[in-house]
Amino acid sequence: DTGVSQNPRHKITKRGQNVTFRCDPISEHNRLYWYRQTLGQGPEFLTYFQNEAQLEKSRLLSDRFSAERPKGSFSTLEIQRTEQGDSAMYLCASSLVRTGGNEQFFGPGTRLTVL
């Protein structure tokens, strides 16, 4: 399968713990995005990378959230000191930048539950 993969698929944690999610994009894609989705809502943009550079971060991304994309390949999203409000589906997407509007390929998501 050459699509976007995310691990783990589900994560249950206690409030105050740190969690880390991984995203492996489609190999030739140079852009990688993180979104968060809660029930009944569309995905909300969190941050994106072009190669290894983090080019934009949403105001939604508090200082408890950090994302990395070392070497421009896989990416990790870490949430420190989790809160119940962090419970959501975290989606990763990748795309190949070109002059047209870039379609994004999404992974299956990581569902986070904070107890």
Partner 1 sequence: SQKIEQNSEALNIQEGKTATLTCNYTNYSPAYLQWYRQDPGRGPVFLLLIRENEKEKRKERLKVTFDTTLKQSLFHITASQPADSATYLCALHTGTASKLTFGTGTRLQVTL
* Residue ranges that bind partner 1, judged by CB under 8 A: 4, 31, 33, 40-45, 48, 50, 55-56, 58, 91, 93, 95, 97, 100-109, 111
Task: Using the minimum distance from each CB to partner 1, give the nearer residue, 45 or 74.
Answer: 45
Residue 44 Cβ vs partner 1, minimum distance, rounded to whole Å: 7
CA distance 98 to 27: 16
Q: Provide the sign of the torsion angle of the four alpha carbons 98, 50, 33, 57, taken in this order.
A: negative
Q: How far is the CB of 24 from partner 1 (least distance, A)?
A: 13
Alpha carbon separation from 114 to 20, 28, 37 (Å, rounded): 13, 34, 15
Q: For residues 38 and 58, give the distance between their C-alpha atoms in angstroms, rounded to a whole number.
A: 16
Q: Cβ closer to partner 1: 74 or 80? A: 74
Among the listed residues 104, 32, 41, 114, the one whose alpha carbon sits nearest the alpha carbon of residue 73: 32
Comparing CB distances to partner 1, the nearer of 13 and 37 is 37
Closest approach, Cβ 20 to partner 1, in A, equals 19
